[in-house]
Amino acid sequence: MSGGLSLRAYERSSAPLCVGVKIGVMAKTLGTTVRALRYYESVGLLRPVRSARDRRYDATQCEKARLIVGLRRLGVPLGEIRQILDENAFGGDLDGAVSAVLVTLIAAKRAEAVEAENMLASLSA
């Protein structure tokens, strides 16, 4: 990504706020639920450090969780998120992979907006 904020820089910019915290604090920090984070763990997207009593998140897991939550809010399916997070996918270029998904999402939303405008125009005609 040229001329803009790197996704990695964005992810790291607030990652220290959640490093070493328990799942409840992590959920609150990310604006999601404990249940969602547990689900992401159960399907293998997150791997917090687990003790007998709790889960703790390191910097890498904070970055992953932030990315997963953000992409899910945009409607990206978990299967696609898994591909993005796969280190071998896209030649290890996480920024490139996320950028490609976002460009596709933007194009789809623009097409939906045009369709909605056309419907509105037909109602006014």
The pLDDT, as a whole number, for residue 105 is 92
Q: Give me the mean pLDDT over the 92-101 stretch.
A: 84
For the chain, the domain total comes to 1
Gyration radius from the chain CA atoms: 18
Residues 31, 12: Cα–Cα separation, whole Å: 17
Which domain, by its residues, includes 58?
A: 7-124
2 is a domain residue: no
- Tell me how far apart the alpha carbons of residues 3 and 17 are, in angstroms, rounded to a whole number: 26
**At 83, which CATH number?**
1.10.1660.10
pTM: 0.73
For the stretch 54-95, pLDDT in tens is: 888 888 888 889 999 999 999 999 999 998 888 666 567 888
The span from the CA of 70 to the CA of 105, in Å, is: 13
